[in-house]
Amino acid sequence: MKSSRRKFIKNMAGTAAALTAGSITSSFTAKSYRRIIGANDTVQMAVIGCNGRGAGMAAIFAKQPLTNVAYMCDVEEKARQKGINEVVKAGKQAPKGENDFRKMLTDKNVDAVYIATPDHWHAPASILSCAAGKHVYCEKPLSHNPREGELAVAAAAKYKRIFQVGTQRRSWKLLSEGIEQLHAGAIGKIYMVKCWYTNNRKSIGIGKQTAVMPGLDYELWQGPAPRKPYQDNLIHYNWHWFWHWGTGEALNNGTHEIDVARWGLGLDYPLTVNSTGGRYFFTDDWQTPDTQLITYQCKEATVLWEGRSCSPYKVQDADRGVLFYGTKGVMLTGHDGYTVFDEKGNVLKEIKSNAVVDGRNTASPNEGLDAVHIDNFLNAIRQNTPVNADVTKGFKSTLWVQLGNIAQRVGHTLHIDQQNGHILQDKEAMKLWGREYEPGWEPKV
């Protein structure tokens, strides 16, 4: 069942709202679609993007008290049903399935959305949802490019929406404790931070142009992105490695560790950014680096991110993590706690969680870490309190990694404006600040 903008607008005529591909028209406002939610009211959720992580997170949302998953929205029929089944397994009533999430946005009973689409849809879907009066929980990265991130921040402010970004470590109590110790001087003055992520991904091969898989609305899957022919090695996961839709391993996973580094340092933006690396392991359609080292020079510290998509050798016996180097010691943080060492490497303090987390498997939600972040989001909706990973924090951390990718693509050092994170006096690099859109699909605020 193939969707088109013309058909969609025609089908929606006469409803409470008229939607266009790139914006929600003024037939309704966020205020008119805003339901007042009390501390004891059930939050009505919709999930946008139901394959993989979306389905798993839907189940966790469904298990939360006073929370109902009312919609599962996905452009693929099988994915929608997968998400619906997960909610039912969680003991809740089957949600309604929708191919086009914009139709769901017209339902004034929906309070909030969870977005787990491909990266090129993250910010556009978030902006549309804010404009429709929905609170937003969007997976990382916040956006496909920096300009979209700026628009997402503007949308949350304009429509006064609670906006949580999926950098879940911001809600992890043990890590918060570790960051507090850093800020209190536990390891002295921090002069360097090393972040890393490793995996053992295989080749994606050379794709062939074929008929679109049955049950997939490829037109809507592409959405804001300029149209390209369907190929057989793109969906469901390999779009991550194509610049047209994805953002590479740096944004796919590095965003988490860079967010922790930025949090620990208390920094908004770096001074300069460099990146080296490439696609070294296989000759295939994979466009983004499988090996990448991003270096950030900050005012009083250096930050490094090492990404190895096809080399599973661990660092500090961990597949991912963050090392803070200070003048009086070192702190190692991971997904299960933190350890403080003195200058000679002796353990001063070691705090570990009982939660079992597979650091490489971010596609499958963790009942502990993800549930805590979800709970923070839902409580913020009911009590009108701040979320731990708001859209501004998410934008800045996402931008750091996007700057790394831009430096990689242009092949030279970027100099960064300390007021807004923009790239200074570099027309070539600023061409990658935004992107081209399919006509009529441009995100607007």
How far, in Å, CA of 293 to CA of 275, rounded? 6
Domains 5-169 and 170-205+230-362+391-430 share a fold: no
Q: What percent of the chain has pLDDT over 70?
A: 89
- Across the range 373-393, mean pLDDT stands at 98
What are the tens digits of pLDDT across the range 96-155?
999 999 999 999 999 999 999 999 999 999 999 999 999 999 999 999 999 999 999 999
How far, in Å, CA of 69 to CA of 169, rounded? 24
- The model's confidence at residue 37, banded by pLDDT at 50, 70 and 90, is confident
292 in Cβ contact with 179 (< 8 Å): no
Where are the chain's structural domains?
5-169, 170-205+230-362+391-430
- The model's confidence at residue 368, banded by pLDDT at 50, 70 and 90, is confident
Exposed (0-12), middle (13-18) or buried (19+): which is 244, by Cβ within 10 Å? middle
In this predicted structure, which of 51-55, 70-74, 157-161 has the lowest mean pLDDT?
51-55
- Across the range 300-318, mean pLDDT stands at 97
What is the rounded average pLDDT for all residues in the chain?
Answer: 92
Query: b/e per residue, 325-351, with b = 16+ CB within 10 A?
Result: bbeebbbbbbbbbbbbbeeeeeeeeee
In this predicted structure, which of 59-63, 218-222, 249-253, 357-361 has the lowest mean pLDDT?
357-361
pLDDT score, position 14: 34
- The CATH topology of domain 170-205+230-362+391-430 is Dihydrodipicolinate Reductase; domain 2 (3.30.360)
- The alpha-helical segments, DSSP class H, found in 105-165 are 119-131, 146-158
pLDDT score, position 361: 52
What are the tens digits of pLDDT across the range 323-347?
999 999 999 998 678 999 999 999 9
Any idea which architecture 5-169 has in CATH? Answer: 3-Layer(aba) Sandwich (3.40)
